[in-house]
Amino acid sequence: MRKTLLDLIENTIIHQYDLPNSTTGVSKTIFSIDDDKCFKTTNNNDFAEIIYNSILEYCFNEFEIENKDFDKLHFIALQTRLKYNSTADLGTKIKYGFLGEVVLFSVLYSLFKSKPLIARGYFYNPLENSETKGYDSYHLVENNGQTELWFGEVKFHKDYKSGIKSVFKNISKAISDDYLQANVFAISNEVNNLQYKGSKIETVINDWKENPYLSIIEEIKQHNMKLVYPVMLLYEEDATGYDDSIKNIPTHIQSEYTSTSYSLSIPYSIFFILIPMKDVKLIKEDVIKWIESKKPLMS
């Protein structure tokens, strides 16, 4: 990742506290296994800059970007590596999923030190002209000899309730053997384009290609791998302030949903990344405006 972008992320998206938090009296969500992480943004314009600039690293592996014309690659990304229709109306454009996915990518990369396994742009099909399928992130963390697959999800809605509803609509599918296996199959089709070489997931894929009768899930178990499912919520800050905006999430989830176990047979963890902010719609509109005007990228 460009140092200028890395510095911007670290100076704009600031960790406030974890949940549960004894000072605010707020618990983590009833679904969270690890502690939830709460961040605050310092500047709307800089946050929009993060979205606009992160499109490049989200769509391309780092070796594809090195010594290239960033602005040209950015334009190529918008044509071939994510869903963006320049002729669509503004209401349609601000609903595009990549606006949140690039934030998840950037935060996992810079603030959680979770390396991208492969750029998400490889999984977009221009012929389908639809949102990229699969998990919203494909990142890895090597943690004391265990490979953690940071395959997560993000929702970027003005109303936190609609974001939460969208998360829980598909969470049981996302944390299942079938869905994890399908995503590993998708990655196997791009194994030559992996950015992170020599990982255990690459070994699993290569072993499976040598013997396709193997069970992907059983191979993942054999290699002591774990699914980490970070769920990022980007949403409008409550008029009563930041702390209440954070509290709204575990409170609403507990009142509307019942915690459950999932069909995934490998170790897994779930936690929320909460980023309330002001002027969600305006932030998205600024990014769209810069895309349309081909604003130069950070170097």
Q: What is the pLDDT of residue 261?
A: 84
Could you count the other beta carbons within 10 Å of the beta carbon of residue 260?
11
Q: Is the pLDDT of residue 250 over 90?
A: yes
Confidence of residue 244 (pLDDT cuts 50, 70, 90): very high
Task: Report the C-alpha gap between 295 and 289 in whole angstroms.
Answer: 9
Task: Report the C-alpha gap between 54 and 106 in whole angstroms.
Answer: 7
Give the domain ranges of the chain. Answer: 3-293
Find the largest Cα–Cα distance for the chain: 58
Which pTM was predicted? 0.94
Over residues 223-237, the pLDDT tens digits come to 999 999 999 999 999
Task: Report the C-alpha gap between 149 and 114 in whole angstroms.
Answer: 9
Give the E-state strand segments of the chain in sequence order.
13-19, 36-41, 115-116, 139-143, 146-150, 153-156, 225-236, 268-277
Task: Report the C-alpha gap between 26 and 49 in whole angstroms.
Answer: 31
Give the rounded distance of the alpha carbon of 153 from its chain centre.
5
Q: Is the pLDDT of residue 260 over 90?
A: no
Q: Is 182 helix (H, G, I), strand (E, B) or coil?
A: helix
State the chain's mean pLDDT as an integer. Answer: 94
Half-sphere exposure of 219 (CA within 13 A, CB side): 21
Q: Is the pLDDT of residue 199 over 90?
A: no
Q: Is the pLDDT of residue 7 over 80?
A: yes
